[in-house]
Structure formats: structure tokens, C-alpha cells
Structure 1
Amino acid sequence: MCGIVACRMDEAAGPFLIDALKLLEYRGYDSAGVAIRTLDGTMASSRTTNRVETLERQLDEWAGPALSGTGIGHTRWATHGAVTESNAHPHADCRQRVSIVHNGIIENSDALRRQLEQTGHLFASEVDSEVVSHLIEEELLITGDLRSAVTAATLRLHGSWAIVALDAETGRMVAAAHRSPLLVARSARGVFAASDINAIAEFVDEFQAMTDGDVVELGEEFVWTRSGAHSAAPAYATSNWSGVTHGLAGHTDYMSKEIAEQPETAARIIDRLAPMIADGSLWSGLNLPPFERVAVLGCGTSLNAGRVIANAFGALGDVPNSSLIASEASSAIMDPRTLVIALSQSGETADVLRAIDDLDLGTSSLMALTNSEHSTLARRADSMLNCNAGPEIGVAATKTFVAQVITGVAMALSALAATRRIDRDYARRQTDDLRRIPDLLAHAIAASQKAIPPLIEEIRDAQGFLFLGRGAGVVYAAEGALKLKELSYRWAEHYPAGELKHGPLALVEAGTPVVVIDSGDRRIESNISEVEARGGRIIRIGGAGSTIPALGLSLGTAMPGGIDRWGPLESVVPLQILARDLALALGRDVDKPRNLAKSVTVE
């Protein structure tokens, strides 16, 4: 979602801010902007509702006072106010002295705006964030000190915030955080702040993550305060950025590249985890207490991955399990000794973080499964597992779903072996099934790339789709429907196939595309017949003879790959490719779907 970058360098700030913002584009945004201090003590600002490249051109054409090495930048995903240049960040005070960038939501912004307008402040935007710059302006008139002014301003805020404020007159820069991620760092290249380590990792080897209530002056030395008093600085964390390229590597879009990376991603994760499964060491290394049941917590694709993992606990070890939609979890009651697995690709998903605030875990424990070991979720959980998917630029999750499922299933197997719910020989056999997954994914890619393109013209004009599955296949139908909605902007719903006759069958008419995950349950045939009798167009994803023969059952020597326990994981490949190819045929941007963001940091 919204992204923040800030710097103080000896070299020009402009090129750094632009490059850093480009590294945050994957989060999704609808406007962007920068504010850079000039050498004569004024502020140069540029904002756009287009891509970051527009800012780059505007800075190249800058004809005003020389720009310094101190500046702030932002990518915005609209929550308050329309997508306009005036609503884009950075926002300034009345005197154009203080500029701020802000992530989060100021819940009492309307009341604050009225108070500020009554004292003569003039607002230039509709957004909640602008009140922060005016509050700092007021406090600066009283204290004359930027850090004190930011501290006083944040004491008047309700909600969530990650803020960097820049004073054009003095060049001072102050950061503040509460319930929204922000990290700070320094190196020989300069001083930096960002909401995502990826934006600045090329420039720093380590960083410090701000915690709720922190206010930090980003000077030659960092000054950490909380409620106006000096506070201890958090420990340094090491950046694990490896200089991996974010390029397309010959692909036309990032989604295509990331689909293609799934076999290698799966093999890398399995090679790392497999030796620790049967002996229980993967589980014991998490240092979590015994559990009697499992609950998974997540949103969107991560929730679907969690459901696969929960199903694996049940199918493999008869462990009672449930799933919680994070945005609806506040009233959930946790049974004693529940292992709660919170899933978030970024580890910054606001709904998940608020849910763990609200849940009374009691004797239960919280494990984070994320692609970011330094994220807020990872820090707040009792233990964490990094799914190690690597960078994923496309907004619609592909390889992170596969990585979460494999990592979670490996953990489930190890936990069940460690707690003697399954014996080690059984765990080894299941681990052998996990090792089949990279080949199954590779086969699914090849089969899908051959079978799907001829289908697209036939279904291109369809306005609605049904996705069906049975047993372990239902959650993959859910993921397929979600992908098609995200990318093509067409209506798509998923159902357990047995529920078809209890309502959804009314939607089926001649030509209605109905995608069926055929994971071998014999009952699916009667459901297919029901659709065909109404003229629906069946797109069967299954074994030999299917519309898309992508599952391991279709190989010369069948490779179930855990299909009866954690489901047909390779089925996500044709579902991803179907959604992508349809979206491209409709002229959609598959890497940046409308209205969506990669890291959803607001509730």
C-alpha cells in the first residue's frame, strides 16, 4: 500500500527518492510525490497521479533553486479523498515550511480539521494526512523545535501513523510511528527512513524498526524519544537483501515471471525444510508450547493458504482446526491451548495486526508465517517462520501462496511428528510427497500454457464465473475465483460443488464458465452433469482428458503429491494463468490491478 522514503545524503536526494519509490511500486499506488529541501532553505515539491516516472521527468526539468540531499517521498493508495494531485503526498503547512508524508489513518481528522480551520489554517486537500502538517506548524510556533512539535502533534492524533516531517528552514527531519511500520537506518551513504526495507536496502546493511509511540530525529545521531522523554533505541536488525534483480528477465509482466518461478521457489523451500520435518526439529525450533487445536488467521490469498495448512493438520493428525477472517476476528473466542497461525505476505497487513490486538489468546500461542522476518507481525508473534518466497512484485499473490502452503504444511508435519500424533516413518513418506511438488508445478505450467490460450476467446465476454471443488479442492477453487476477480474485474464466486444445487445453480445458463477442480472425488461427476444439463461451459482442471490436464494425476505415472491431505497445490498454476490470460485479453494491467495494493496497511 502507501510507501514512505526519506533521506539525508551528501549526494542529490532526487535520484535516490525516485529509485526508492520505484522499489515500492509493487505495493500498489494511485499517486506519488516528493518534497526536497533546496539549498536556499525552501521546499521543492512534485506530485502526480501517474507513475513514478512522471516525477522523475519533473525533477529532471526542475529550474528552481539547487536541490539538496535531504528529501521525502511517498506513494499513495487512496483511502480519504479522490485520486488527485492535491490529495497526493507530501503535504505542507500553510507557510510551506513543513512537509510531511504519512501512512495510516487519522481517525479524528475531521474534528482536528475543524479546530485548525477555526484558528485560520487553510487546507489544500481532502485527505486526513494534511492535518498532521498543520498540527506540527501550530506546535512549532510554540516550541520552535521540530522534534517537540512532532511529539506534541502526535499526542493529538487517534488512529495509526508512520510520519516523516521535513523542515525546509532548518533541514531537520523527524519520524514518528504508531501502529504503522517505519524503519530508520544510517550508513556511509547517509541517513534514511522507509516503510519497507526493500526501498533502502541497497544503501544500508542494518536498520532499526520503530515501535508504537517512537519519535526519532534523523540527524547526525538518532535521538529516540517517547512522550517527549528520551527512550532506548531498539536493537539493530540486519538487512537480508541480496541484490536480487527486480527485472522481468524476459517476461512481459511480473506475474508471468513469478508464476514461472514457482517450481524453483518450491524446490528451494523444500530443500531447506525437509531435513527438519520427520525428526520434529522444525517445530521444536519454534519454541512454542503444546497445542490441542489450530486456528489460522489471514486475509485474501493468505487466508486461503492458511486454510490449506489447517486442513493438513486435520487430515494428517486429526487436529481440530478452524480459520478466522482477520477483519472479522475481533469477537472470536479462542479455546485453550490453540496454536494460532497468522499469515501475511508482508507481515504488515493491518487487519491481521488489529485482530491479534483484539484476540484474547490466554493459554494459546501465536505463530507468524510471513515473507518478511523483520515485519511487525514477525516481531509481535511468539515465534515466526519465513516462507522465503523471495521478492514478489505483482500485486496478485502467486508464488507467495505456494511458499506459504509448503512452509505451513512442512511445519504441520514436523509439529505432528514432534508431538507424536504421527510416527516418523509416516512423516518421512509425507515429506517425500512434498518433494514431488516442484515437478508437479513445472508440469502444471507446461500443460496450462498449452491448454488455456485457446479457451480465452471463448470465455472473454463472460460476465460471471463459478469455481467448484470438493474436499481439499474447495480452497483452491476459492483462490481461483479470487485471482480471476482481482485481475479481470469479472464477477467470480466459488462453492463446494455439493452446494451447487442449493442456490448457485440458478446462475448457470448457456455458456456460463464453470471451473472445476477435479482432485479425484467421484462425486464431482454428478455436479458436472448438473452444470452441463443447463448449458454451462465446464472447464475441468484435473487429470488426463480434462480441459486442462494440469494435475499430477494426469502424468504417465500418477504423482498425487499430497492431493488427499493438503490438496492439489499444482492446481493454482492453471488458475493463475487463466486469470492472467483473460485479464490481458481484456486489456488489464495484471501487475497492478485497479483498487488493489500489495501490502494492505489500513483496515
Structure 2
Amino acid sequence: MCGIIGCVGCGDQTLTTLVHGLSKLEYRGYDSAGVALVGDDGLQVVKKAGELDSLRGELDALEGVSGTLGVGHTRWSTHGPPTDENAHPHQDCTGDVGVVHNGIIENYQSLRDELESAGHTFESDTDTEVVPHLVEEGLEDGLDAEAAFREAVSRLDGAFALACVVAGSDAVLVARNDSPLVLGIDDGATYLASDVPAFREFTDRVVYLDDGEFARLDADGWRVSDVKGETIEKSVETVEWDAEDTGKSGYDHFMLKEIHEQPRALRQCLQGRVDELGGTVTLEELGDLEPDRIHLVAAGTSYHAAVYGSQLLQADGVPAQAFFAHEYASSPPPDTDALVVGVSQSGETADTLSATRTARRHGAETLALTNTVGSTMARECDHVCYIRSGPEIGVAATKTFAGQQTALNLLTQVATPGPSDRDVIEALRELPSDTQEILDESNAETVAEELLDSDAYFFIGRALNYPVALEGALKMKEITYKHAEGFAAGELKHGPLALVTGNTPVFATVVGDGELARKTIGNVKEVEARDAPVVAVTDGVSDVKRYADHVLEVPDTHPRTAAILANVQLQLVSYYTAAKLGRSIDKPRNLAKSVTVE
């Protein structure tokens, strides 16, 4: 996810403050960085592709880059590759307007066509660049900087956090819609950032912006207003500098933030590993590994990812099996021809560490599939594959489960003899945007509200959607404390059907219109006949909607990635159910983020 930093009132420390803020945003993932400063010499913009050190080197090579206010940005590529031209900030034709942006402007192409027809020249491939040109249009029409910025924002569709500076103006102008922004309030200075750590060394007083709000930061302080320009009274909160108490980016809970970080996390997982044009997947860290069979060992959410991964591998002809790590360690010694894959978000899960250690003692080759660089499992195993999801603070795993599923897709492509599956590669490349579509359009909150008083929740699925059912039930029970169970859909009639009542909703994941979908629809009819509310998680290809009381849509895609998308919808249902029940979502009772005891 891109990062924004801005400041007013820092005097000759403005540039230093911006670069410091960018360094605190590096954890979010990025491929370019830049700053824009306004001073006596007008607007100065410096930006470079690559890591922050590249920007520092460029700034050191230049003289006179200074200003009394400014903005900075770390970019994660969406529209256009990571180049100097595509790095933020972006400018207008006159060079007087600078804009940084997080999110996606959905109608940028039509705006760009309109602006180019009016004579504007574009320098980048990004969606962001339309914004400074729209501001330029407003300025040419006689509007002041703030009015021109507001007019530009009114033309935009999509999710965005925007910060704009204009030569000759003494303000940083800000707007938020579905992308986090927070202000930092200090005596004589005001800061703006995507997340608190960017300015936390300077102040512990913050103001979280909400969707549809604007802010103006100038020498006199700060002001927040609505789309009509009317002032909104915002409370100034004091944050503690403990890492577990900061960094929510305006979201109510870390879990919700981390659910919404999944598009960025998935891009990070895929970056540099998938070549859609060449039709290849590369995991350089695995070298030329060609396992005869694979054993996946894990616990909890990671076990559900392991079940999903084992099914992927089996479907492509690689003998594979998923094991509970705590059972594997005490089972007969593993076949030394098997590659033993320890799946663990933290890389410190005691059960999984015990399993991989047992495997190594018996001569098996091991691979750690983890999120945590430098973790014990990563250090001890023969190979390591990082899922690159970024920090996850919420105890209930969300983005790391999606990262595990995605990484296991990559592992399957590498481990399978023969060429990679181009259809799968195409679906993986679309996965981040498909996930964002769900986050933008999901009706999960409404479904959660209508089913809030249920006695229990059942989740069913077949094949790749069976582990999705298991994970959907686990999330529900972890954070809501309500009874929830996941079943292979075909098992429903072999016992669990006895528990189905009119107050036990059944979540059925049905994608495509093949034999598995038709059989699952048969299971849906079974519970419908017993008056159970049915929630269909579906791409709409089959006719399951006609039997459902509620529908959670997923984009039409490959069945392998559809299972990842279905899980996102179920995460949201669990989150909103827990929120409406007033549960301790980020720290559910009796649970820990990293389980370090067996």
C-alpha cells in the first residue's frame, strides 16, 4: 500500500521531516518515492524509482531543495511500472500543482481523454496524474487553490487519499475516500500521513479523517470540512506509542485494516514472481527444487491454507498431503523423499516448528512458508518462501491467510512438471484487483446484521472451497464467540444435518457451474428444505442464487483464486458480526497471535 506524509510549520526542517516520514512508511511496501515542497522558489518536486536511498541520493545531488510545507509519497505500482515518471508526486502542465495519491481512480481514463482533448500533456501512466491537471483547470477558471482542489475531487470516482500543494499557496490540501489518512497535531506544526508511525516521533495527538472529509493544513493550524465546505468538529486523540496500539490508519480495528490491506499484500506476494507475458512463475529462493511428494504441516488458519495447498498440488499431479503439525511430530517418521513444508504466519508456531524439526532429524528436506523474515522456522528450514503480507497485528489472521493461499498457488506452479498454467497465472495477476472489488462492493455488513441472532453458523464447500468453509467457521468462532462449524458439503447429510434449524444459517461457497457446483446446490436444497437461511458465496455462474436468502458476490475467475476471494467475503461477515456484538476483535479471549507452546 502506498504511503503519504505531509507537513506544515516545520520551517527549515520540512524536507528532513518528509524524508523521515517516508522511512517510517517503508514497511507498507513500495517501489518509488518522492517529495514536493513549496517555498519562495515555487514548487519543487524530486522523485525516484527504487528504494528511499535512491531519493536521498538524488536530493543530496541537488542544491536548494527546500520549502516551508510539503508532501511525500512511497508508491506501490498499480497503473504503470515503477519508473521515475510514474513516481509521485505528479504535476500539472504548469508545474505549479503537486499531488500525491493512495488508492485507485476508477474513471481516470475518461478524465484523461477529456483533459488531453483540452490540450493537457501527460508524463506518466498513472491514474493519479489526472488530479493535478483537474486542479490546473480550476485555477485557470479563476478558483483559488482550495476551491480548485475541491472541484477536482468532485470529479473523481474510486478510492483515494489525496494531498495537494500549489505554488503560491500556504496550505496542504487533503481529501479522503475509502483510503486512510490521519493528521498529527503539534504546537506550531501539523502533519498528515497514511499511518501514525510516519510522524509519531513528533507528536502523539492525532485526528483521524473519515470518508468524504477534506482538510486544510496551513500556518494557522488545521481545519476539517465536508464536501460542502462546512467545518466539521473533530476530536483530537492521544495515542500510545506501543506498536500494538498504533497504526490502525483510521480503521476501528487492526483486523478490518488488515482485511482491507489484502490487495496490497497480494501484490507484494506476486511481485517479481509471476510473468504473465512469459507464462512463467519463478520462486528464486527455491532454486530447482523438484520434490517427489510434499507434506504440508501447520496449525489453525495455516492448516486450512495447507489443506488448500495440498488440493492444488494433487490436482496438478504432485502427491501431497496436509497434516496437523501437532500430530505430524508424533506420527511415524516422514518419508525422506518428501519435501516437508511448514506453513506458519509467524514462523514461530511451536507445533509447526516441532514438525519441521522432526522431519529434518529424519533426513527430509524442509521449506518454511512464512510471513516473518528472520523467524526461527525461516532460519532453520532448508528453504524459505516469504508470503510478503506485511505486519499483521490482529490475532485473527486475515491477509496472511490470503497470502499463504497465493504463495501455495505459486509453489504449485513451480513444483508441477511441465509449463505453468497460463489461466492460473492470469487469474493470479487479477487477484489483487478482484479482492479490491469485493472490499468496495461487499454487502457483508448487511448480511451480518440480518443474521446476528443466529444460534450457530455452518459453512460448507467442496474441493478447494472446503478449506474456505473451515476458515470461515474458524474466523466466526474466534472473534464472535458464536458456535460455528465448517464441513465438506457432501458430509452434511451424514450427521451435521441433524443440527440444521431455522436459526442456523448455512454459508455455501459455489463457484462455476460444473459438477461440484451442482452437487453443492443439492446440499443447499437440503438445508433450504429445513428452513435454514442460506447465504450463497458465488460468482453467479450457477443458479444457486435462486435458492439463497442472501448472496455474497465474488468476481468470475479461475476456481483456484475464487476460493481466495470467497474467503474475503467470509472474513467481512465475521468481522461485522463481531463488531455488532461488541467483541474484542483484535484480541479475542484466550487466543494469541503467535502460539509458541505445544
TM-score category by the smaller chain? 0.5 to 0.7
Find the aligned partners of 2:374 and 2:349 in 1 and give their Cα distance. Answer: 14
Asked if residue 296 in structure 1 is aligned to residue 319 in structure 2, the reply is no
2:321 counterpart SS class: strand
Structure 2 counterpart of 1:456, one-letter code: A
The offset of 1:422, in angstroms, is 2.5
Asked if residue 580 in structure 1 is aligned to residue 575 in structure 2, the reply is yes
The offset of 1:370, in angstroms, is 0.8
The offset of 1:277, in angstroms, is 11
Question: Is this contact kept in 1: 2:427–2:561, CA < 8 A?
Answer: no
Partner of 2:586: 591
1:372 counterpart SS class: coil
Residues 346-372 of structure 1, C-alpha deviation per residue, up to 9 Å, x if partnerless?
111111112223336645310001111
1:493 counterpart SS class: strand
The offset of 1:568, in angstroms, is 1.8
Partner of 1:326: 325
1:319 counterpart SS class: coil
Residues 191-229 of structure 1, C-alpha deviation per residue, up to 9 Å, x if partnerless?
xxxxxxxx9xx99xxxxxxxxxxxxxxxxxxxxxxxxxx
Find the aligned partners of 1:279 and 1:361 in 2 and give their Cα distance. Answer: 38
Structure 2 counterpart of 1:343, one-letter code: V
How many residue pairs get matched? 347
Find the aligned partners of 1:474 and 1:283 in 2 and give their Cα distance. Answer: 27
1:551 pairs with one of 545, 550, 554: 554
Question: Is this contact kept in 2: 1:262–1:441, CA < 8 A?
Answer: yes
Question: Is this contact kept in 2: 1:540–1:548, CA < 8 A?
Answer: yes
Find the aligned partners of 2:279 and 2:527 in 1 and give their Cα distance. Answer: 47
Residues 1-21 of structure 1, C-alpha deviation per residue, up to 9 Å, x if partnerless?
xxxxxxxxxxxxxxxxxxxxx
The offset of 1:376, in angstroms, is 0.6
TM-score (norm 1): 0.54
What is the 5 A alignment of 1:52-71? none
Asked if residue 344 in structure 1 is aligned to residue 344 in structure 2, the reply is yes
Question: Is this contact kept in 2: 1:329–1:359, CA < 8 A?
Answer: no
Residues 267-296 of structure 1, C-alpha deviation per residue, up to 9 Å, x if partnerless?
232223214997877346424653111111
Question: Is this contact kept in 2: 1:510–1:534, CA < 8 A?
Answer: yes
Partner of 1:452: 444
- CA spacing shift, 1:385–1:585, aligned 2, 3 Å: same
Question: Is this contact kept in 2: 1:444–1:571, CA < 8 A?
Answer: no
The offset of 1:457, in angstroms, is 3.3
The offset of 1:468, in angstroms, is 0.3
What is the 5 A alignment of 1:467-506? 467-506=459-498
1:264 counterpart SS class: helix
- CA spacing shift, 1:373–1:288, aligned 2, 3 Å: farther
Structure 1 counterpart of 2:461, one-letter code: G
Asked if residue 527 in structure 1 is aligned to residue 519 in structure 2, the reply is no
Find the aligned partners of 2:520 and 2:386 in 1 and give their Cα distance. Answer: 36
The offset of 1:246, in angstroms, is 4.8
2:486 counterpart SS class: strand
1:297 counterpart SS class: strand
Partner of 1:517: 509
1:540 pairs with one of 536, 547, 559: 536
2:583 counterpart SS class: coil
Find the aligned partners of 1:412 and 1:477 in 2 and give their Cα distance. Answer: 22
Question: Is this contact kept in 2: 1:464–1:492, CA < 8 A?
Answer: yes
Partner of 1:48: none
The offset of 1:437, in angstroms, is 0.6
2:256 counterpart SS class: helix
Find the aligned partners of 2:394 and 2:590 in 1 and give their Cα distance. Answer: 14
- CA spacing shift, 1:254–1:360, aligned 2, 3 Å: closer
- CA spacing shift, 1:277–1:415, aligned 2, 3 Å: farther
- CA spacing shift, 1:441–1:596, aligned 2, 3 Å: same
Structure 1 counterpart of 2:439, one-letter code: I
Partner of 2:73: none
Partner of 1:437: 431
The offset of 1:587, in angstroms, is 1.0
The offset of 1:492, in angstroms, is 0.8
Structure 2 counterpart of 1:535, one-letter code: D
Find the aligned partners of 1:264 and 1:381 in 2 and give their Cα distance. Answer: 27
Question: Is this contact kept in 1: 2:460–2:489, CA < 8 A?
Answer: yes
The offset of 1:452, in angstroms, is 2.1
Find the aligned partners of 1:533 and 1:601 in 2 and give their Cα distance. Answer: 45
The offset of 1:411, in angstroms, is 2.3
Partner of 1:212: none
The offset of 1:250, in angstroms, is 1.7
1:522 counterpart SS class: helix
Question: Is this contact kept in 2: 1:348–1:599, CA < 8 A?
Answer: yes
What is the 5 A alignment of 1:281-320? 282-283=282-283, 285-287=285-287, 289-315=289-315, 317-320=316-319
1:552 counterpart SS class: coil
- CA spacing shift, 1:389–1:577, aligned 2, 3 Å: same
Find the aligned partners of 1:376 and 1:549 in 2 and give their Cα distance. Answer: 39
Find the aligned partners of 1:471 and 1:510 in 2 and give their Cα distance. Answer: 27
Partner of 1:508: 500
2:328 counterpart SS class: helix
Find the aligned partners of 1:385 and 1:245 in 2 and give their Cα distance. Answer: 29
Identity %: 35
1:389 counterpart SS class: coil
2:592 counterpart SS class: coil
Residues 434-462 of structure 1, C-alpha deviation per residue, up to 9 Å, x if partnerless?
101112211222332xx222223332222
Question: Is this contact kept in 2: 1:505–1:531, CA < 8 A?
Answer: yes
Is the deviation greater in 535-544 or in 286-295?
A: 286-295
Partner of 2:355: 355
Partner of 2:366: 366
Residues 138-169 of structure 1, C-alpha deviation per residue, up to 9 Å, x if partnerless?
xxxxxxxxxxxxxxxxxxxxxxxxxxxxxxxx
Structure 1 counterpart of 2:415, one-letter code: A
Question: Is this contact kept in 2: 1:389–1:399, CA < 8 A?
Answer: yes
Structure 2 counterpart of 1:397, one-letter code: A
TM-score (norm 2): 0.55
1:272 counterpart SS class: coil
Find the aligned partners of 1:480 and 1:273 in 2 and give their Cα distance. Answer: 28
1:374 counterpart SS class: coil
Find the aligned partners of 1:415 and 1:278 in 2 and give their Cα distance. Answer: 18
- CA spacing shift, 1:281–1:401, aligned 2, 3 Å: closer
Partner of 2:4: none
- CA spacing shift, 1:285–1:574, aligned 2, 3 Å: closer
- CA spacing shift, 1:385–1:473, aligned 2, 3 Å: same
- CA spacing shift, 1:515–1:347, aligned 2, 3 Å: same
Find the aligned partners of 1:281 and 1:468 in 2 and give their Cα distance. Answer: 31
1:516 counterpart SS class: strand
Question: Is this contact kept in 1: 2:509–2:566, CA < 8 A?
Answer: yes
Structure 1 counterpart of 2:440, one-letter code: A
List runs of 5+ in structure 1 lacking aligned partners.
1-198, 204-242, 554-559
Find the aligned partners of 2:379 and 2:278 in 1 and give their Cα distance. Answer: 28
2:286 counterpart SS class: coil
Structure 2 counterpart of 1:325, one-letter code: F
- CA spacing shift, 1:513–1:429, aligned 2, 3 Å: closer
Partner of 1:182: none
- CA spacing shift, 1:282–1:400, aligned 2, 3 Å: same
1:568 counterpart SS class: helix
Question: Is this contact kept in 1: 2:291–2:415, CA < 8 A?
Answer: no
